Amino acid sequence: MKKVITYGTYDLIHVGHINLLKRAKELGDYLIVGLSSDEFNAIKHKCAYHSYEDRKLILEAIKYVDEVIPEQNWEQKVNDVLNNQVDVFVMGDDWKGQFDFLKDHCDVVYLPRTEGISTTKIKSDLGKDV
């Protein structure tokens, strides 16, 4: 079985998230999502609308996702890849080059983002008279 892993906050799930998860799943048989914990988001100065527990529940309901694990810090990725016997690490191409250190342990793929949509854009748009 070929395992794939990706990471993110996955707040306010939108078509861009679904596209990324679908394309990530197409790279293997089993998709693991490292979901940023509320505590890790605070360290990153990010504020999710939904709690970790709610974001996890939503992700688990998506047919492309096989498993959700907590992301507690930047450093855990090597251990997650090794402990879960991951074959492919996937991130959006806005992170291109940032995770190349994982190439010693698995394939690293940067996928293009869906144009015109992001959680940041949604939050911005909601702050306006839409």
**Active centre residues (catalytic):** 44, 46
Q: Are 27 and 81 in contact (CB under 8 A)?
A: no
Residue type for position 55 = R
Beta strands (DSSP E) in 37-119 are 67-71, 88-92, 107-111
Question: Environment class of residue 101 by beta-carbon count within 10 Å: exposed (0-12), middle (13-18) or buried (19+)?
Answer: exposed
How many CB atoms lie under 10 A from the CB of residue 7? 22
β-bridge pairing 88-92 and 67-71: unpaired
